[in-house]
Amino acid sequence: MEEKIGKVLLSCEEIQRRVVELGEEITRDYKGENLLVLAILKGAVPFMADLIREIKIPLKYDFMAVSSYGASTHSSGVVRILKDLERSVEDHHILIVEDIIDTGLTLKYLKENLAARNPLSIKVVTLLDKPERRKAEVVPDYNGFTIPDEFVVGYGLDFDEQYRNLPYVGVLKPEAYSSEG
């Protein structure tokens, strides 16, 4: 698997250091509040698992799974909910956890959908932000790293469902995209 990685963009140590900082910031901001951490499957799972252990206040967590309609490589902005929340979110502050914000279309849809359920507030924490490709105006409230317009894998991010278990974020060698796999 690792022989397919052309370049490490963010090392495991860099990510872990930043996750601690984000956890401290979130702990301060939500002290005394009813916090629901909402991870978007599947990419946000490793980030969420590390982040919640750096948030030192009581919280609940839940998951949503969404998929965009249409061509697989281009976000259409039309999103289908594959798995929804288990409970009502009234009386909760929602913190959406994302792996990466690219066009922003998925997040825009999610925020609108969640706002209709009347939570106390909605904020977003993303591991990665690729602002160059934005189509919808969404800005993360907490951002791990801003990255250039490159397709990255690892720490939850996949290519064809693979590479999610890498402990760092990297860029694939061109040959990894070929059909020999």
Catalytic residues: 102
Phi, then psi, of 115 in degrees rounded to 5: -60, -35
| H or E stretch covering 65 | strand 59-68
Interacting residue with ligand 5GP among 39, 106, 142, 176 (CB under 6 A)? 106
Is residue 151 at the binding interface for ligand 5GP, with CB under 6 A as the rule? yes
Please, what is the minimum distance in Å from the beta carbon of residue 134 to Mg ion? Answer: 15
Residue 152 interacts with ligand 5GP (CB under 6 A)? yes
Window contacting ligand 5GP (CB under 6 A); options: 6-14, 50-58, 86-94, 99-107: 99-107
User: What does each C-alpha distance from 152 to 12, 31, 130, 164, 180 come to in angstroms?
Assistant: 14, 34, 11, 10, 20
155 φ/ψ sector (left φ>0, alpha ψ -120 to 50, else beta): left
* Candidate segments 33-41, 111-119, 121-129, 137-145, binder of Mg ion by CB under 5 A: 33-41
Q: Which runs of consecutive H residues, i.e. helices, occur in the chain? A: 12-29, 45-52, 105-115
* Piece of the chain touching Mg ion by CB under 5 A; list 17-25, 27-35, 117-125, 150-158: 150-158
d(CA 17, CA 144): 10
Shortest distance, position 167 Cβ to Mg ion, whole Å:
18
105 binding partner (options Mg ion, ligand 5GP, none; Cβ < 5 to 8 Å by kind): ligand 5GP
Asked if the bond preceding 108 is cis, omega within 30° of 0, the reply is: no
According to the binding rule CB under 6 A, does residue 43 interact with ligand 5GP?
Answer: yes
Residues that bind ligand 5GP (CB under 6 A): 43, 75, 98-107, 151-153, 157-159
